[in-house]
Chain A
Amino acid sequence: MSDYMLEIHQIDASYGPIQALRNVSMNVSEGEIVTLIGANGAGKSTLLMTIFGSPRASKGYIKYQGRDITNIAMHEVGRLGIAQVPEGRRIFPAMTVEENLIMGTLPIGDEHMEEDREKMFVMFPRLKERRNQRAGTLSGGEQQMLAIGRALMSRPKLLLLDEPSLGLAPLIVKQILNSLRDIAAQGTTIFLVEQNANHALRLADRGYVLVNGEIRLSGTGEELLVNPEVRAAYLGGH
């Protein structure tokens, strides 16, 4: 059972009296790209944040590499090799682009900092042009690239992304999804939360569909892409 890199087992989570997740079980194996799709308010972001303990799961457990992480502190999760590109990107606006990247190295120290920073600049040349600029002045797409770059600076084994395509121009979305493919090819396991089901399912090995806090469907990317229910609800019905 504990061959999974990330195993979420029958968890519930709530914000005060409002229950956001009900009996959710899912897993991610090493080397996979797994996606979770669902409408606004389905609980996608909650599920990602529950891995970091905010909100905490009130039932069930979350295991990472066989270790129960359900109740450990948020910053300790961040040091286990799990990096997150959170909803809304959450870059540090008053820091420079370069400082934001350095912030990502905390879990592993700055031993590989310069090497990895150059890698990020190769992957996202726009960041190199703006390396000394305050991150708050970047465009949405550039901020997204920075958030991904920052997450990768910790050389994560598991990368969690929360709607990296949200609010971005189609061309930028394509560019970001392509970088995700490269990142996966280099051995990082990816768990991608998306509303943009079409893109996400094409990229992913497997997918889950979250409806009102419950897992409604799961399957391979191709299976879900042709599933009539998914097509009707998330792919505009064509």
Chain B
Amino acid sequence: MEFHILGQQLVNGLALGSIYGLIAVGYTMVYGIIGMINFAHGDVYMISAYITAICIAILSFFGISSAAFLIIITLIVTIVIVSLYGWSIERIAYKPLRNSPRLAPLISAIGVSLVLQNYVQVSQGAKTQAVPTILPGVFRFGTETDFFQITYIQVLLVVVSFASMALLTYIIQKTSLGRQCRAVQQDPKMAAILGINTDRIISTVFILGAAMAAIAGVLVTLNYGSFDFSVGFITGVKAFTAAVLGGIGSLPGAMLGGIILGMSESLFSGFVNTDYKDVFAFSLLVLVLIFRPSGLLGKPLVEKV
């Protein structure tokens, strides 16, 4: 076994997995609170890639070259704008259909997904976009010939991902807003009886999910550098897989599912075959669903009455 390849694939897997985890959080939170999959979530991530590129271009135009400053401003701007997208999606595609059959908001969300993709394709062009490397540099481990490396961007990516997830977990577990979210998730009617504005909480959850996708979008764009209007679809499906793998509705499950998916994909590409990595990832999902239908950390739908 070549340990430097193993090391490299673990590093790549962790980076990829953190991204899946960040996006999966959005799926799992929305599912937890309204019991529906937000099919436009992948495209929210795609939008954040474009906003990152635009933001970097504008900042560079004004001659700002400090990497830290660029990254922080880009993160903030992208989070704000993309959160607005998340909020609008809920307003347009979900809220008017709150009392409709479950299929209706599903279809309207797919509609929003198509609109976003086409709107970006028309306004930004169909070709692949690229951003320059902002933070070059690597940590290298091993000998001259057999080594693996961690780029500064990968370190940033993993650190920011885990910090965001930790912050989100804190908000959900310890703050009043988080308790309100959990209350609406467990019993929306009772939550309203206690004075919670459930519509506002649902909006908040969409905003939180979109903010996490925005962070993922910025980090991925800085890391891989290229994207087009359709990246939201496959990344969205992968992140959704991660959410289901970990147990949809469970916040730690989404993160765990993301890391497992990223690691397996990366190890499979490194040691078996790159072309079939998606097949492997989805086979893993099938296996988990056969033996643990509620996912790794999901709870079976039985509560003591």
Mark A residues whose CB is within 8 Å of B.
Answer: 52, 54, 73-79, 83-84, 86, 88, 90, 92-95, 99, 102-104, 106-107, 110, 136-137, 150, 154
> How many angstroms between the C-alpha atoms of A94 and B32 in the bound complex?
13
Is the beta-carbon distance between B194 and A103 smaller than 8 angstroms? yes
Secondary structure of the B contact surface, majority rule: helix
> How many angstroms between the C-alpha atoms of A25 and B180 in the bound complex?
35
Is the beta-carbon distance between A104 and B194 smaller than 8 angstroms? yes
Secondary structure of the A contact surface, majority rule: loop
Is the beta-carbon distance between A95 and B186 smaller than 8 angstroms? yes
Known: A136-B304, A137-B304. A93 touches B195 (CB 8 A): no
What 6 additional pairs, Cβ within 8 angstroms, besides A93-B304, A94-B299, A154-B194?
Answer: A52-B193, A74-B193, A76-B195, A90-B187, A92-B190, A150-B194
Partner of B194, one of A73, A78, A93: A78
Task: Supply 7 A–B pairs (Cβ within 8 Å), ascending by A.
Answer: A75-B191, A75-B194, A76-B195, A95-B186, A103-B179, A103-B191, A110-B176
Is the beta-carbon distance between A90 and B192 smaller than 8 angstroms? no
Is the beta-carbon distance between B182 and A94 smaller than 8 angstroms? yes
> How many angstroms between the C-alpha atoms of A226 and B189 in the bound complex?
38
The number of inter-chain residue pairs (CB within 8 angstroms) is 70
Nearest chain A residue, comparing its CB with the CB of B198? A75
Is the beta-carbon distance between A90 and B190 smaller than 8 angstroms? yes
Partner of A79, one of B176, B191, B195, B305: B195
Partner of B195, one of A78, A90, A94, A95: A78
Nearest chain B residue, comparing its CB with the CB of A94? B186
Is the beta-carbon distance between A95 and B187 smaller than 8 angstroms? no
> Nearest-CB distance from A52 to chain B (Å)?
6
Is the beta-carbon distance between A75 and B196 smaller than 8 angstroms? yes
Contacts of A110 in B (CB 8 A): 176
> Nearest-CB distance from B171 to chain A (Å)?
15
Is the beta-carbon distance between B194 and A86 smaller than 8 angstroms? no
